[in-house]
Amino acid sequence: MPLTANAAFTERHQLVSELIANPAAGDPIIYTVPGNTVIQVVGLYFGFNTSVAVADRRICVYVYQGAPAGIVQGSVASVVQPASVTYTYDFACGVAPLDATADTNPLVCVPLSCGLQLQAGEQLHVYAFDMAVADQLANITIRYFGWKED
């Protein structure tokens, strides 16, 4: 017998994969939780294309609650990304650390705290240390469980 969705449940609690618009070159990803919403982040998947500018970049994901709390949680990739290359990053709950940068399609997996909940107005930021103005974060998907507040 097939399972049927309970409309009240699906409106209140959903697993969502949301595409985020690419920021301008050299800018971080900033995702703000919509009003009347609580999310529990499950993963963040994106590509990072570095320009020819010489520097080693290191990707960082952090939760920002605004003044005066500021940064409340962060996760940093264990690898540095050199100039003129594209890596794909997967920050996710339960993922094992992986540095597959020697592969043809480089992939870096970074564990993300499970149970991380953000309230309406709180932000998730992604940036790179030593990011150059021509570097580009792209193809961004955030995965989360979402609830609507009453």
Domains annotated for the chain, with CATH where assigned, are: 16-148 (2.60.120)
Supply the pLDDT for residue 9.
Answer: 41
Q: Tokens in use for 114?
A: 């499970």
Residue 131 reports pLDDT greater than 70:
yes
Digit-coded pLDDT (tens) for 32-81: 999 888 899 999 999 999 999 888 899 998 887 765 567 777 888 888 89
Q: Answer yes or no: is pLDDT of 143 > 60.
A: yes
pLDDT top residue among 5 and 17: 17
Interatomic CA distance for residues 78 and 137, integer angstroms:
18
Distance separating alpha carbons of residues 127 and 149, to the nearest angstrom: 29
Distance CA 73, CA 112 (A): 10
Dihedral (Cα; 65, 143, 59, 104), 10-degree rounding: 180
Instruction: Inform me whether the pLDDT recorded for 10 exceeds 70.
Output: no
How much is the pTM?
0.82
- Cβ-proximal residues to 127 (8 Å cutoff; 6+ apart), any chain: 28, 29, 59, 60
What per-residue confidence (pLDDT) applies to 7? 45
